[in-house]
Structure 1
Amino acid sequence: MYAIVKTGGKQYKVAPGDKLNIEKLDAEVGAKVELDAICVVDGSKVEADPAKAAATKVVAVILEQFKGEKQLVFKFKKRKNYKKLRGHRQQLTRIEIESVGSAKASKPAAKKAAAKKADEVKPAADQAEKADAKKAPAEKKPAAKKPVEKKPAAKKADEKPASDDAE
């Protein structure tokens, strides 16, 4: 199940467990906020009417308040000696979607345990790949290049042979 929510003049596609950066919300870190849904998709059922979709609750938790990357604003008019360079850093809020309607995000502990098991299996596979990589160059040797024979340049009839005595 996912929903399209509107916040900060923009629209975002969100599902339970998603993390996203949106324009600043006036709330404390850890607070729960409710976002306005304008479309809800639940399997094959689509509710595109904003009035009916607004009945679906999209709950998010605020993780962090921070500033975005610096955006440079350069104003310039040719032949008028006019240049201005200004910077801007947008205030942003990082949120995590807790639930969309009745669907809730799965617990992150299960994801961490699965990731640890995958990490344990990886080193053995990595060692096998490294061993294969070491063997591969030894098996494939580039073909030896044949030396290129240079042909003597043709002598012109007008040329005299060069000698050490003729100076």
Structure 2
Amino acid sequence: MFAVMKTGGKQYKVQAGDILRVEKLAAEAGDTVQFNEILMVGTTVGTPVVADAGVQAEVIDQIKGDKVINFVKRRRKHSSKRTKGHRQKLTLVKILEVLEKGADKSGVKAAMGAGSVSGAAAPAAKPAAKKAAKAEAPAQAGGDDLTTITGVGPAAAKKLADAGVTTFAQLAAIDVDSFEAVKVKADWVEQAKTLA
């Protein structure tokens, strides 16, 4: 049985036992991965993906492709020329089996590209969680989130907290000329008065 699968923006017709060079996958040598974007299995054509089908493969090695040389020469421009070389990172995989049904329940991890969107979404969620935790920290400590005031960033909010100013009411009561811990702007005080 054969299948047409898609990975790395390319389509491959595969069957059990084939060895392929595909765009780099986030997997180590010896890992078993499963390709879930199946466009066709045998004679079953899907739109756009055949449901519950998959191709399982074993990662043999992480390799680099042949060197491609890019040479640019501009004639009659005082010998302007440039040479660049590039070797694409690839993954060598051996197709183990083509699953027409039951790929969702196989338990094999999905093949993810090294720079894929879903692979990058998990690390991107962590900074957002850290920002939310930082925003909640002043509120939990009995203070207000001073970064909601236009012009007050995290560094200025930390300096204000170190000086003992943690609420909008405290910031509204500050005399701009006599407060020396942080250079407080008059519009910060006005915004704090409206928020307090």
Is TM (by shorter chain) over 0.5? yes
Instruction: State the SS of the aligned residue for 1:69.
Output: coil
Structure 1 length normalisation: TM-score?
0.56
Q: Which residue of 1 aligns with 2:26?
A: 26
**Larger CA Rg, structure 1 vs 2:** 1
Q: Does 1:82 pair with 2:83?
A: no
1:50 is displaced (CA, Å) by 3.5
- How high is the sequence identity, in percent, across the aligned residues? 41
Q: What residue in structure 2 maps to residue 38 of structure 1?
A: 39
Secondary structure of the corresponding residue to residue 53 of structure 1: coil
- 1:12: how far off? 0.5
Matched, 1:91 2:89: yes
When structure 1 is superposed on structure 2, of 54-63 and 6-15 the one drifting more is 54-63
Q: Distance in 2 between matches of 1:85 and 1:52?
A: 41
Q: 2 CA distance for matches of 1:84 and 1:50?
A: 45
Q: Determine if contact 1:37/1:50 at 8 Å carries over to the other structure.
A: no
After superposition, the CA RMSD in angstroms is 1.7
Shift of residue 51, structure 1, vs aligned partner: 4.5
- Structure 1 unaligned residues grouped into runs of 5+: 104-167
What is the aligned partner in structure 2 of residue 101 from structure 1? 99
Amino acid in structure 2 at the alignment position of 1:61: E
Contiguous gaps of at least 5 residues in structure 2: 102-196
Q: CA deviation at 1:5?
A: 0.6
Q: Alignment length, in residue pairs?
A: 99
Structure having the higher helix fraction is: 2
Q: Tell whether the 8 Å contact from 2:41 to 2:100 is kept in structure 1 after alignment.
A: no
- 1:102-129 deviation line (CA, Å, top 9, x unaligned): 69xxxxxxxxxxxxxxxxxxxxxxxxxx
TM-score (norm 2): 0.48
Query: 1:99 and 1:92 mapped to 2: Cα distance?
Result: 21
